[in-house]
A = this chain, B = another copy of it.
Amino acid sequence: MPARIENDTLLRALAREATPYTPVWLMRQAGRYLPEYNATRARAGDFLSLAKTPALATEVTLQPLERYPLDAAILFSDILTVPDAMGLGLEFSSGEGPRFARPLQDEAAIANLSAPDPSRELRYVLDAVREIRRALGGRVPLIGFSGSPYTLACYMVEGAGSSDWRRLKTMLYARPDLLHRVLAVNAQAVTDYLNAQIEAGAQAVMIFDTWGGTLSNAGYETFSLGYTRRVIAALRGEAEGRRVPCILFTKGGGQWLEAMAASGADALGLDWTTDPHAARRRVGSRVALQGNLDPMALLAPHAVIRGQVRQVLDAFGPAPGHVFNLGHGISQFTAPDAVAELVDEVRTYSRKLRARLAG
């Protein structure tokens, strides 16, 4: 018999079952906008130590749940743990984004690349998953996650974030064989990593395809979605007697929702440029939808935040299968109060919407 989850609203919405209100969680909900997060991070010394110490990762994962009645916890970790475990040497220089000490810049490095064994090289993540599950005590489900094979490859080849992904795109057009080799290894690594998270206790998983939207229309299928589909097909679909749903989010992927809906994912994340009503019409009832408030709306006065939340809920409508979220990670400049307003408005207004539908 599955371990009991006190609040399983998220899982029911992801299964497109009716729920009394629209569940809500926020991408990057454990993050720099929270003073308690910054305090823990300061204790850890730096971001990577925070991510690599299960007790601290557990602490920050639970922080937003202490403040807000959120419907899910999401594992606190970094998107680049997998290539780090492959030996690329993840570094964070202060004030800048992530960087690899040994990016994939020659054929030999690519030939030697292999998928890590998560139970060894990524054990700290699995330990964190187990510890978070214990700390949660069944209150809400825990979401595990990974970057998509393509998004990981972007950083692995480029060596760092980029505005044009020039190195990556040069490889893509000039030596697609090399990029396909990287992507095949990544697909295996992401599959193993997510399955290990599920085995350790993740009750849903999300694939962040943060940079898939920088591909051409033809390239998205060839270099991103094709490999993500391979991952999804190989995921353990069940654990603890329960379906473990998979959410796929391609930022800037609004033009490709039909293809994404056919990927095998249970739900699609939408960024704020996508019209929720049109999205639902396009994907039918095949998948749940998650999103999609502009994260910058949280910088507005409270009344405006509540109005924007209502607009998003109205656009998705009261039919089952919506998980409220932002269209991208929460900004570090968000006031913690603003999130309280958002969560409260989602809860109260979505209840009203459903009552109206029933009435």
Contact = CB atoms under 8 A, between A and B. Distances in A.
Contacts of A252: 252, 273
Given A166-B331, A174-B301, 5 more contacts: A170-B296, A170-B300, A173-B297, A216-B294, A252-B273
A34 B46 CA distance: 44
A166 B330 CA distance: 12
Interface string A214-234: 111111100000000000000
A296 to B, nearest CB: 3
Interface in A230-254: 252, 254
A5 interface: no
A39 interface: no
A278 B282 CA distance: 14
Interface string A173-195: 11000000000000000000000
Contact of A299 (B174, B216, B299, B333): B174
Given A272-B216, A272-B217, A294 B169 contact: yes
Given A216-B294, A308-B173, A275 B300 contact: no
A105 interface: no
A304 interface: yes
Interface size class, chain A: 35 or more
Contacts of A165: 296
Contact of A296 (B169, B296, B308): B169
B217 A299 contact: no
A311 interface: yes
A348 interface: no
Interface in A73-100: none
Interface string A295-314: 11101110010001001000
Given A169-B299, A272-B216, A275-B255, A174 B304 contact: yes
A69 interface: no
17 contacts: A164-B295, A166-B331, A169-B296, A169-B297, A173-B296, A173-B297, A173-B300, A174-B300, A216-B294, A217-B272, A217-B273, A217-B274, A217-B278, A219-B294, A254-B255, A255-B273, A255-B274
